[in-house]
Amino acid sequence: MTQYPSSQSVSGKFGRVTLELEGQKYHLERHGEEFRVDMVDPDWTYPRLLQTAAFHSGQAKSLPPFVPNPPRINLPISLLTGSHHMQAYWVPSRWGNMQFGLPFTYLFEDERWVPRRDVFMHPPDRPFAMQVWNVNCISCHATAGQPRQNGRTKIMDTRAAEMGISCEACHGPGEKHVALNEDPTRRYALRMGGKGDNSIFNAAKANHVKASEVCGQCHAVRHKINPDQWNEHGSPFRPGGDMEAAYPLVHYDASDLNVPGNEKKRTLMEGSFWSDGMVRVSGRDFNGMRASACFTRGELSCLSCHSMHHYQNRAHQLSAGMDGNKACLQCHNNIAAKLEQHTHHAAGSSGSQCYNCHMPHTTYGLLKAIRSHQITSPTVQESLTTGRPNACNACHLDRSLAWTGRHLNAWYGQPVVPLAPEQESTSAAVLWALSGDAGQRALIAWAMGWPAAKEASGQDWMAPYLAQLLQDPYAVVRYIAHRSLKRLPGYGQFEYDYVGPEEERQQRQRQAFEIWNGQAKRLTNDPSALLIEASGRWKTDDVARLLRQRNDRRMELLE
């Protein structure tokens, strides 16, 4: 979560490293256990960025004046955030203890630095604000954080119990618990009597709502109901308490989207939810689970599948055996005896994995697709209404919505819905990849690298679509497309810089098409649904027409 820098915690490469962004250079240095950066003074930059953002939002009349030689300063790296996929770094203000974000992130898989703006789904034509740890990350990446910003001077006197997620984040304040249990007779009496210890909260012994709210205090889209309370004292929620009273969940409301002057709420709604209210960004899983029938009509909790202490995989923190159907069959055990009859897929296939159909990868974050935590069944109507890929077409990438509709009608009696001619004949994934919005394009680019989808759909036809996305306006779409492309035959050594100069990206895109054109095609799919001619060539006219229809609305997903 959040750590202090050391040789054990810092993963980024420091020491004689120079990075450049928007004409400014950042020199990274290492001196033993100290990590430093020589950069433009963030105490000078930050107010200018605020003025720039205000200008672009219409709240200021002018941009700050251009300064050819802004002041520079050499600062220590004071904090770092992230330990699974990427790592962000922070430098201190000289006033109070505000922590400014270094505008670069280190990607573990690629072993490289990239601009921080290019690891988020962010409009490419909109300035990326400098991040401040004290008012953003502190609420979920520290324990009992309190921003404590002076309303007049804006200087921070931030406090936190611990910089990461410690015991008290999930169990509540522990001072009373420790004091009481210094008495061994009390401990033995509770143990021998089989009684719980009410001096501390234990989610494993709570009901499914209270247990899950411990996770929901961070993993949810929520309101901060009292800004002054939050600034001075931090979150009023304590494990076992009433989360809805402290931090009520945000619920999607389409009526908020068109209210004049309500841009902030519109950004929150569109950046967090699909248009039917399903969460579409990572780290907000509680909203999804909370809306599932397994929670509202059953006793599903986060602890039904996850464990903080006894997990198999650190990245997912799944309890033993919960990476398969046991997660669902522990409750729906009547399905186990008739699995193939229920799924209409072979028992050992990905199509008979419960979560592939009921928790598909329709959530975006961390440069990838992530499983939805709102447990649902796939329908064609959801894709028509929201644009969200349904589970069937997110796996069978070569098939149309009409194909999915016919099978869902035959197998589960779902009504057949009317479709446009292209939705009848053309692969849904192809339509989303060419004419969808940036979020849809990112999900499909990821799915083209997912082994289960490639097995179900074949992969010899995917390269031109991924090559096309190498020139996407959104950096994160380009990144995901390249990663999936490298997993296709013939592209294992294909080099491409998703944040490189546009001319260089264009050249690499042409080379990607040349590789595909030179390959022998062994298509087992219907080529017409994939806009591929019998000769194996792309139907360039149809592709160009769909590209002209691409949904270029601004997209900012608030992961």
Task: Read off the pLDDT of residues 4-34 as tens digits, 9 standing for 90 and up.
Answer: 999 999 999 999 999 999 999 999 999 999 9
For residue 128, the model assigns a pLDDT of: 85
Look at residue 356 in the predicted model and tell me its pLDDT.
Answer: 97
Mean pLDDT of the chain: 93
pLDDT at residue 281, rounded to an integer:
97
d(CA 364, CA 136): 20
Share of the chain above pLDDT 90, in %: 80
Within 325-379, residue ranges assigned H as helices are: 326-329, 339-343, 354-358
Note the pLDDT tens digit of each residue in 160-192: 999 999 999 999 999 999 999 999 999 899 988
Q: Which two tokens stand for residue 222?
A: 């929520």
pLDDT at 130: 87
Chain-centroid distance, C-alpha 376:
20
Mean pLDDT of all residues in 334-355: 95
pLDDT value for 418: 97
Could you give the 3-state DSSP secondary structure of residue 72? strand
Higher pLDDT, 254 or 465: 465
pLDDT at 536: 85
Question: Which residues have CB under 8 Å from 503's CB, separation 6+?
Answer: none
For residue 362, pLDDT over 80 is answered with yes
pLDDT of residue 260: 74
pLDDT score for 332 = 93
Report residue 46's pLDDT band, with 50, 70 and 90 as the boundaries. confident
Q: Give the residue among 420, 428, 482, 483 at the shortest CA–CA distance from 457.
A: 428
Checking if the pLDDT of 462 tops 90, the result is yes
| Model confidence, pTM | 0.95
Compute the average pLDDT of residues 481-490.
Answer: 98
pLDDT tens digits for range 214-262 = 999 999 999 887 889 999 999 999 999 999 988 899 999 888 777 777 7
For residues 518 and 490, give the distance between their C-alpha atoms in angstroms, rounded to a whole number: 10
In this prediction, residue 183 carries a pLDDT of: 93
